[in-house]
Amino acid sequence: MGKDEQPFQKAKKRSQKDYTLGFKLGLVSRAEKGEMTYKQAQRIYGIQGRSTVLV
């Protein structure tokens, strides 16, 4: 390998979590009651995607 070449770096794999139905329903219930926004749920529980919460 030359001086300016960089070794191949493995892409970091995103972690995807499987949430139980009870957990999902609990979050939906709290959001419907106005106890929590989807952004708060993302931050508190480490949920990555917006659509994970809204769909």
The DSSP secondary-structure symbol of 18 reads P
pTM for this predicted structure: 0.54
The count of structural domains within the chain is 1
Structural Rg of the chain based on CA atoms: 18
For the segment 1-55, what is each residue's pLDDT rounded down to a tens digit?
555 555 555 655 556 677 888 988 898 899 889 999 888 888 888 887 766 555 5
2 in any annotated domain? no
Q: Are 41 and 26 in contact (CB under 8 A)?
A: no
Nearest by Cα to 16 from 41, 40, 44, 52? 52
Domain containing 40 equals: 21-54
14 in any annotated domain? no
